[in-house]
Amino acid sequence: MKLVDTAIQRPVSVIVGVMLIALFGLIALYRIPVQLIPDVDRPVVTINTIWPGASPEEIEQEIVQRQEEQLKAVEGLEKMTSESFDSRGQVVLEFSVGLDPDAMLLKVSNKLDQVTGYPLDADKPVLTSGSGGNTSAITWLILEPLPGNEEVDIETYRDFVEDLVKSGLERVPGVAQSNVYGGFERELQVIVDPAAMAAHAVTVDQMAAAITAENSNISGGSFDEGKRRYIVRTVGQYTTPAQIEDVVIRDGPDGRVLVADVARAELGYKRPSVTVRQRGKQAIAINATRETGANVLEVMDGIRAAFTEFNEGPLLREGLILRQVYDETEYINASIDLVRSNIVVGGALATLVLLVFLRSASTVFIIITTIPISIVGTFLVMSLVGRNINVISLAGMAFAVGMVVDNAIVALENIYRHRQMGKDRVRAAFDGATEVWGAMLASTLTTIAIFLPIVFIEDEAGQLFRDIAIAVSSSVALSLVVALTVIPMMSARLMRNRVQSRGAGGGNILDRFGSRVSGAISDSVYHISGSTALRVSVVVVLIGASVISAWTLLPKAEYLPTGNRNLIFSILLPPPGYSLDELIEVGQQIEDVLRPRWEAQPGSPEAAAIEGPLVPHMFYVAFGRSAFMGARAGDPSRVKEIIPIIQQPLFAIPGMIAIVRQSGLFQGIGGGRAIALEISGPDLGRLLSLGG
């Protein structure tokens, strides 16, 4: 075979090739994106429409239904769902996997332009394009007062946080979006006096129209004066509350009516619709999501640098501090370290087994060179095909560690056999490798044929397990190339000059044991081959034993593992009609149960007296008609013990539906362990009774 002969005759070229693979593989390793799980993309377009003051029924009838009538004909649409809230409607469109998200966004925008009959005071619909896969936040930050500054009202800093922190985080390379939860939004309020309005015969609509009409700057053109040109404009936009009070509502025979006559204007805050509590105190929460394909580790480094700069600068001057309460890279690093250790341990065990059975340092060295060359080369392949490093791809490499040495062992063992026949090292290396290259090629192609078809599956499962297919296929393919080039080249130069025969009567105990096993296998095969009935019986017995063993040892079926993330997440669905204040009281009941677990210091007598894990971080967010909360354990291995502790106060609330579970590794993929049941029909009351 020409390839084997060239490798033996030109060892320098082979060494240079190996060095180039190692060089570019290591470069790819440091440049390839790192994240927790692969990107699973399903094009999703979300349409949000704001209509201030409208009820959910009005939102549905006047906005959502009009949009659905046009959007249901969008090409490639698989599912359309809508929700109508107080003052807001949302329509979510899910498209087939593989479609261009930008093209889908354009088609939806064109269809949405055909919707007519919106209410006059409704805002223009806002479109956002995203993925139906894993888009959860990679970090959560909490804004708190510094010790000694507890008297500050943290909820009045929302605008400050949006202007400083939110915009600062979104400038970090790789951050797709940052969201702010909690706090009060500032607004200019006009507080009317109903009695005064009735006395002056002024309506709210008249006053609102007058205020809106005056709040504008009007261009007056330009004129030339001598050698100068002047731009003229009428300045009317409000800068102070007093300017609003001076607005004329009506000027008639019965006198002039000003806003100040029937109302007063002042700077205030919007009525809160969301509240955030961190360890029993009001707080403002900020999160950040990453862009698709961004290196999470690098993005998190930029986020840490950003909020450290805030803490040492403007926030310090305000007596505030940002604390990081969740960091996805902690779990990523732990997962990667675990898989990396598995790769190292697997390689070490493979080396140990080879050393025990081959008992030749040079022989083992020749074989184990296959592992780093194949694995490092796999990083280069994954970078070239646009994949990333995650727990799935690393798991594929861990699988491949034990597989890549197979071809090397087959090639080297046959080369060793030819040396025992008395051939010189060069001739034995050539004859041994060329004799088995066909068998190695068939074995390699069989393995690739098992994994490679996954690459061409476009649905969720294909995207999720594509990295395993690429990692295993490329590793095994590279191991074949190594077995046909590097192994013969090294055997021709490193194998011992004298090769002793492994006879049945000589050698050590392991040699004699191996000879007996080999002889027993040979005799068994000889006797089985001599009888048709015996051959059929052996096949039936082995297949039956395999089926019975597989059926007996089959583990419980699960689409995806839950992982062991240190985060307990709970969704609370209260009875209809719960106010925000009532939801806050629910959160306070949970805080009363968990308070001793975050106040106790690790290692203190108080901590020793508490049964179960400590909870250093806990947050609670209430909004609209529901709430959610999260908690982390001081000991990550005991995080599941928090679940019954949280369930106890929640299940005691009448009518409360509480879902408390450990946050899964594959969040937002595959639906977790949930079963979605959709009941459709024209009568909402009937649907509710059927759902109950």
Quick check: 375 and 397 in contact, CB under 8 A? yes
> With DSSP H G I counted as helix, E B as strand and the rest as coil, what are the percentages for the chain, rounded to 5?
50, 20, 30
Q: Which of 602, 424, 411 is nearest to 497 (CA)?
A: 424
Q: What is the pLDDT of residue 667?
A: 63
In angstroms, the CA 457 to CA 470 distance is 13
Place of tokens 């510094």: 146
Quick check: 361 and 369 in contact, CB under 8 A? no
First-to-final CA distance of the chain: 73
> What is the identity of the amino acid at 382?
M
In angstroms, the CA 638 to CA 82 distance is 39
Range from 46-60, 487-501, 649-663 carrying the lowest mean pLDDT: 487-501
Quick check: 46 and 130 in contact, CB under 8 A? yes
- Tell me the mean pLDDT in the region 500-524: 71
Q: How far is CA 633 from the centre of its chain?
A: 21
In angstroms, the CA 594 to CA 280 distance is 9
- Residue 367, phi then psi, degrees to nearest 5: -75, -45
In angstroms, the CA 602 to CA 614 distance is 8
In angstroms, the CA 377 to CA 674 distance is 40
**CA-to-CA separations, 180 to 9, 159, 177, 473, 518, in angstroms, rounded:** 66, 10, 10, 44, 70
Q: Quick check: pTM over 0.75? A: no
**CA-to-CA separations, 582 to 65, 93, 586, 588, in angstroms, rounded:** 32, 34, 6, 10
For the chain, give the percent of residues with pLDDT over 70: 95
Q: What is the pLDDT of residue 504?
A: 47
SS3 56: helix
- Tell me the mean pLDDT in the region 34-39: 78
Identify the burial level of 417 via C-beta atoms within 10 angstroms of its C-beta, where 0-12 means exposed, 13-18 middle and 19 or more buried.
Answer: middle
Q: How far is CA 175 from the centre of its chain?
A: 13
In angstroms, the CA 79 to CA 93 distance is 6
Range from 21-25, 284-288, 397-401, 474-478 carrying the lowest mean pLDDT: 397-401
In angstroms, the CA 417 to CA 569 distance is 61
Q: What is the pLDDT of residue 498?
A: 53
SS3 303: helix
pLDDT of residue 502 exceeding 60, the answer is: no
Q: What is the pLDDT of residue 47?
A: 92
Compare 222 and 445 and report the one with higher pLDDT. 445
Quick check: 405 and 51 in contact, CB under 8 A? no
SS3 266: strand
Q: What is the pLDDT of residue 500?
A: 54
pLDDT of residue 32 exceeding 60, the answer is: yes
**CA-to-CA separations, 364 to 229, 367, 421, 674, in angstroms, rounded:** 89, 5, 21, 50
Q: Which two tokens stand for residue 442?
A: 């068939």
In angstroms, the CA 118 to CA 115 distance is 8
- Tell me the mean pLDDT in the region 386-411: 84
The segment with the largest mean pLDDT, out of 23-37, 169-183, 539-553, is 539-553
SS3 180: strand
pLDDT (tens digit, 9 = 90+) per residue, 544-593?
999 999 999 888 877 777 777 788 888 888 887 788 888 888 888 888 88
* Mean pLDDT of the chain, nearest integer: 84
What is the total residue count of the chain? 692
Place of tokens 């959007």: 71
Q: Which of 60, 270, 310 is nearest to 163 (CA)?
A: 310
- Tell me the mean pLDDT in the region 496-517: 63
The segment with the largest mean pLDDT, out of 125-134, 540-549, 618-627, is 540-549
**CA-to-CA separations, 388 to 327, 378, 393, 683, in angstroms, rounded:** 20, 11, 8, 48
CB-CB neighbours of 538 under 10 Å: 13
Q: Which of 359, 438, 446, 461 is nearest to 403 (CA)?
A: 446
Q: Max Cα separation, the chain?
A: 129
Helices (H), 200-258: 204-214, 241-245
Compare 496 and 13 and report the one with higher pLDDT. 13
Q: What is the pLDDT of residue 56?
A: 87
Q: Which of 571, 576, 683 is nearest to 627 (CA)?
A: 571
Q: Which residues pair with 88 in a beta bridge?
A: 50, 85
Q: Which two tokens stand for residue 406?
A: 């197979």
pLDDT of residue 506 exceeding 60, the answer is: no
Query: Crossing angle for the helix pair 425-451 and 2-9, nearest 10 degrees?
Result: 130
**Residue 143: CB partners within 8 Å, gap ≥ 6?**
154, 157, 161, 165, 283, 284, 285, 286, 315, 320, 321, 322
